[in-house]
Amino acid sequence: MRLSEAVSAQTPLVQRLLDGVATIGADPPGITRDAFGRGENDAQSLIARAAAELGLTARLDEAANLSLRWPSGHDAPPVLIGSHLDSVVQGGNFDGAAGVIAGIGAIAALQAAGIAPKRDIEVLALRCEEAVWFGLGLIGSRALLARLPAGALELPHARSGLTLAQSIDACGGHSARLRENTPLRDPRSIGVYLEVHIEQAPQLIEANAPVAVCLANPGNVRHPFIRIRGEDAHTGLPHRFRRDAALAGADLSLALERLWLDEEKAGRPMAITIGRFHTPAARHSLTAVSGGFELSLDLRAYDAAHLAALEKRLGAIAAEVAARRKVEIVLGERSAAAPGPMDPALIEALSAAAARCGIAAPRLNSPGSHDANNFAASGVPTGMLLVRNQNGSHNPYEAMDTPDLMAAIGVLAEWLANG
């Protein structure tokens, strides 16, 4: 059977797995697969059963990441194909899960075509990529590569209240090993890391292409609980006496937007997102000036030096707003992820594989940070394929079409066979 025919023949398997993880995560109007909870665990089990039918060897590592290996009999560093199975609360079905399923589909296609692997191929279902569960994202790959920040194992789960260490242990991991702060796998022993992921902006809709080759993922700096402290007051208080935390929050947000627009105009891509933006719910009132305000901030860019410069500007902007509004701005807790530039040789090789499949795949930056960031930052040659998806991600309306995922699986299988 030709490889293209073998890929097409896996469509029922891929659709069955997509439907299966949707059923596991059903939470109308969207999908919720909670990390280190029933949603992620049941999705792991579904994927493991499909892998067993293909003869893959399953194991959990000390971080409770699931590894599914197709041994080659060759002594060469393996190819890892990874993504995640957790979701945000009431998100969509494809963010993460489509990438894990793509790895299974590609191996199934190679087997159907009678193509033996040149080196071990391993599908990874990495734990807890979404930051919503612990206020820290990319946890599975961070743990695998010893990139967890200090104190991460004590972070509480947003739903269960268990610490990250307790959550890992409850799912079959061994968190004590992670306290050694050494990689669970030496990055030098990994040949390649590949990830397939839905696109998180409609660039492929615009380009009328099913698949893109990723150039880079942004790194990020996150402050989940920025606190502004002013002074509660009567609504009639004249402006010159006010220490209005709400207006300071508005000023800070608009100043950051001006920074974003200036950077884009200068040709330096980045993004700023304010997810939470509110006065204290227990005390806000129509007839009071609020002395308290909270917001969250995600600041991202594609180059480490640029990201560091933007973080310095954030501090200066916060200080200027605080002085002008006579308030205190505390940026508070911070997490960060390194930018993820893709390996130039893999960009070329994946583009060539797409061309052999008859796909004119554009080369695009991804708007999102992914587990691929940690592999790239650890020195592992890293590549990504982005799949067309009309409505973004982290919402119930993700709109990836299965034929587009099959196109990405075709490119992946072609690279594995002939790359």
Q: Which residue(s) pair with 163 in the sheet?
A: 156
Q: How many CB atoms lie within 10 A of CB 287?
A: 7
Residue 8 CA to residue 109 CA, distance in Å, equals 8
- CATH label, 219-337, candidates 3.30.70.3270, 3.40.50.720, 3.40.50.2000, 3.30.70.360: 3.30.70.360
Return all residues near 199 (Cβ < 8 A) that are at least 6 apart: 212, 364, 366, 367, 386, 387, 388, 389
Q: 3-state class of 30 per DSSP?
A: strand
> Domain limits of the chain?
3-218+340-418, 219-337
Report whether 69 contacts 191 (CB < 8 A): no
Q: 3-state class of 236 per DSSP?
A: coil
The residue type at 198: I
Residue 286 CA to residue 171 CA, distance in Å, equals 47
Question: What HEC string does 188-231 produce?
Answer: HHCCEEEEEEECCCCHHHHHCCCEEEECEECEEEEEEEEEEECC
* Residue range 269-289, pLDDT digits in tens: 999 999 999 999 888 889 999
Task: Work out the average pLDDT over 174-199.
Answer: 97
**DSSP assignment string, 152-166:** GGGPBPTTT--BHHH
pLDDT score of 1 more than 90: no
Q: Which residue has the tokens 């945000």?
A: 88
| DSSP element (H, E) containing 238 | none
pTM: 0.91
Which class would CATH give 3-218+340-418?
alpha beta
Check residue 6 and give left, alpha or beta (phi > 0: left; psi -120 to 50: alpha): alpha
What is residue 337's predicted lDDT score, i.e. its pLDDT?
87
Q: Which residue(s) pair with 37 in the sheet?
A: none
**DSSP assignment string, 253-284:** HHHHHHHHHHHHHTT--EEEE---EES-TTT-
What is residue 152's predicted lDDT score, i.e. its pLDDT?
96
| DSSP element (H, E) containing 109 | helix 97-112
Alpha helices (runs of H) in 113-189, residue ranges in sequence order: 139-144, 164-170, 175-178
What is residue 284's predicted lDDT score, i.e. its pLDDT?
86
Task: Work out the average pLDDT over 248-263.
Answer: 98
* Residue range 102-134, pLDDT digits in tens: 999 999 999 999 999 999 999 999 999 999 999
What is residue 179's predicted lDDT score, i.e. its pLDDT?
97
CA proximity to 202, closest of 19, 29, 364: 364
What is residue 25's predicted lDDT score, i.e. its pLDDT?
93
Task: Work out the average pLDDT over 72-99.
Answer: 97
Q: Do domains 3-218+340-418 and 219-337 have the same CATH topology?
A: no
What is residue 389's predicted lDDT score, i.e. its pLDDT?
96
CA 266 to chain CA centroid, Å, is: 27
**DSSP assignment string, 299-310:** EEESSHHHHHHH
